[in-house]
């Protein structure tokens, strides 16, 4: 059993609270990614799970056992650090076998386990080298190897795979995820979307949303998650609710000549200032949606298969994604349509209106 449970977990440094009550359950062999902007507390939460930071309040359970006060080495975890944290005075072999040496494992058993991990990570020819003699990618593999050798229940990763080449990254993901639960911290939402079974979006020490990658993309709980998940970022347009029925609201877009569109949501109140969210790829051709808006083009990036048009109107910057498009070259303005079915509505506090 390698499930993990956090119950009302808090962390404070003096009067500064950095983790403000986190409840989370991670199933055995699940790949969970903590994602959020810098300073959101994702690394602190990971370090608390590892035992490198004390837990100010709340409970941490690993495999059903309370681990709050258990020594890091006895929690059944292994951690891979962002800077690799390889012991610079030891060879790759010694780095990988160091934990086992202190756990009292026999020398020949250490050699076997190190050799196995080295084979998985293609590190066999490098075992007698020092970390300074390795490339960045090789160092990362050693750091991962050091974690694998300990055969932990839970792997903790602090943004370590970002520089690994794509093939090895997929190989690693399959190899490790088969055996253990993984918690991975990153600020890169693309990496989170690629790797995770479950994404945990954090902001200012609280969990904003937990869910499968596409659930977060398709059905964000609030404006923060909507803006954070997805690349390019979701566009936000200022609007006001001007009419309301039991099953829809009609909005007036503040910066677009009071253009109106009706959204199939039941919340909100007439006169309420709201934000309309539209993903870059969900803007349609003129006339294809319910309402058309004209924008002034700032710059257009043509990547071949896709083009990104950066435009604005009334100080509101928007990004529009167009497939196979060359049309924006030399254009000053662009007209796009908004499809209400593919738009999201948020209240003034950033919460989703459904």
Partner 1 sequence: MSVTPATMAQAARRTDARAAIRAPADPFAMVRRGLVYLLLSIAAFVSVFPFLWMVIGTTNSSADIIRGKASLGGEFFNNAVTFFTQVDALRVFWNSAFIAVVATALTLLISSLAGYGFEMFRSRVRERVFALLLLLLSIPFAALMVPLFVMFSQARLVNTYTAVILPTVASIFIIFYFRQATKAFPTELRDAAKIDGLKEWQIFLFVYMPVMRSTYAAATIIVFMANWNNYLWPLIVLQTAENKTITLIVSALTSAYTPDYGMILFGTVLATLPTLIIFFLLQRRFVEGMLGAVK
Computed on alpha carbons and rounded to an integer, the radius of gyration of the chain in Å comes to 25
50 makes contact with partner 1 (CB under 8 A): yes
DSSP single-letter state for residue 72: G
CB of 147 to partner 1, least distance (A): 9
Residue of 16, 69, 71, 178 that binds partner 1 (CB under 8 A): 71
End-to-end CA distance of the chain: 38
Residue 70 makes contact with partner 1 by CB under 8 A: no
105 scored as a contact of partner 1 (CB under 8 A)? no
Q: Does 161 bind partner 1 (CB under 8 A)?
A: no
Sketch the per residue contact string, 108 through 147, with partner 1: x for CB under 8 A, - otherwise. ------------------------x-------------x-
DSSP 8-state class, residue 351: B
Binding to partner 1 by residue 268, rule CB under 8 A?
A: no
Tell me the DSSP string of 284-343. Answer: ESTTSSSEEEEEEEEEEEE-SSEEEEEEEETTEEEEEEEET--TTTT-SEEEEEE-GGGE
Does 289 engage in binding with partner 1 (CB under 8 A)?
no
Choose one: 97-105, 177-185, 205-213, 233-241; the region binding partner 1 (CB under 8 A): 97-105
**201 contacts 213 by C-beta, under 8 angstroms:** no
To the nearest 10 degrees (0 to 180), the angle between helices 107-120 and 92-102 is 130
Asked if 83 is part of the footprint of partner 1 (rule: CB under 8 A), the reply reads yes
Euclidean distance between CA atoms 185 and 203, whole angstroms: 13
Q: Which stretch binds partner 1 (CB under 8 A): 71-79, 239-247, 259-267, 290-298?
A: 71-79
| 85 lines the binding site for partner 1 (CB under 8 A) | yes
**Residue among 192, 151, 193, 195 nearest 170 (CA):** 195
Cβ proximity of 206 and 21 under 8 Å: yes
Q: Does 87 bind partner 1 (CB under 8 A)?
A: yes
Q: Confirm or reject binding of residue 81 to partner 1 (CB under 8 A).
A: yes
**Contact between 180 and partner 1 (CB under 8 A)?**
no
Which residue in 57, 70, 99, 294 binds partner 1 (CB under 8 A)? 99
Give the one residue of 79, 123, 200, 338 binding partner 1; rule: CB under 8 A: 79
- Closer CB to partner 1, 8 or 52, in the complex: 52
Sign of the torsion formed by the C-alpha atoms of 86, 166, 178 and 219 = positive
Phi, psi torsion values for 97, nearest 5 degrees: -95, 0
**Residue selected from 8, 39, 64, 103 as contacting partner 1 according to rule CB under 8 A:** 103
The interface with partner 1 within residues 17-46 (CB under 8 A) comprises none
**Does 301 help bind partner 1 (rule: CB under 8 A)?**
no
> Total number of residues binding partner 1 (CB under 8 A)?
26
Residue of 15, 16, 38, 102 that binds partner 1 (CB under 8 A): 102
Residue closer to partner 1 by CB (options 76, 268) is 76
User: What is the CB neighbour count within 10 angstroms for residue 148?
Assistant: 26
Which one among 34, 98, 283, 308 touches partner 1, defined by CB under 8 A?
98
287-324 exposure pattern, b = at least 16 Cβ within 10 A, e = fewer: eebbbbbebebeebeeeeeebbbbbebeebebbbbbee
Kindly give, in sequence order, each residue whose CB lies less than 8 Å from that of residue 128, ignoring residues fewer than 6 positions away.
91, 92, 93
What residues make contact with partner 1 under the rule CB under 8 A? 47, 50-52, 71-74, 77-79, 81-83, 85-89, 98-99, 102-103, 132, 146, 150
């Amino acid at each position: 059993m390698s499930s993990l449970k956090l119950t009302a977990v808090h962390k404070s440094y003096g009067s500064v609270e950095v983790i403000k009550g986190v409840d989370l359950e991670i199933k055995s062999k699940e790949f969970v990614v903590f994602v959020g902007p810098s300073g959101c507390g994702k690394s602190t939460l990971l370090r608390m799970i590892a035992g490198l930071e004390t837990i100010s309040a709340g409970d941490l359970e690993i495999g059903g056992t309370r681990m709050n006060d258990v020594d890091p080495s006895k929690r059944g975890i292994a951690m891979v650090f962002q800077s690799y944290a390889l012991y610079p005075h030891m060879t790759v072999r010694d780095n990988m076998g160091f934990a086992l040496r202190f756990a009292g494992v026999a020398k020949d058993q250490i050699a076997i386990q190190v050799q196995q991990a080295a084979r998985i990570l293609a590190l066999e020819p490098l075992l007698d080298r020092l970390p300074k003699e390795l490339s960045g990618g090789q160092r990362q593999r050693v750091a991962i190897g050091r974690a694998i050798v300990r055969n932990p229940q839970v792997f903790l990763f602090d943004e370590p795979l970002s520089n690994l080449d794509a093939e090895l990254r997929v190989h690693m993901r399959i190899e490790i995820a088969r055996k253990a639960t993984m918690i991975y911290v990153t600020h890169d939402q693309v990496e989170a979307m690629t790797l995770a079974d479950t994404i945990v979006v954090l902001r200012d020490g609280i969990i904003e949303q937990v869910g499968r990658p596409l659930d977060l993309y398709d059905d964000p709980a609030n404006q923060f998650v909507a803006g954070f998940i997805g690349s390019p970022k979701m566009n936000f347009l200022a609007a006001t609710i001007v009419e309301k029925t039991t099953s829809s609201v009609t909005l007036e877009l503040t910066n677009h000549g009071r253009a109106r569109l009706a959204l199939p949501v039941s919340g909100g109140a007439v006169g309420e200032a709201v934000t309309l969210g539209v993903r870059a790829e969900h803007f349609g051709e003129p006339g294809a949606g319910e309402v058309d808006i004209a924008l002034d083009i700032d710059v257009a990036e043509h990547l071949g298969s896709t083009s990104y048009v950066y435009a604005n109107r009334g100080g509101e910057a928007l990004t529009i994604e167009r497939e196979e498009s060359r049309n924006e070259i030399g254009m000053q303005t662009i007209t796009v349509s908004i499809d209400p079915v593919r738009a999201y509505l948020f209240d003034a506090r950033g919460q989703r209106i459904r």
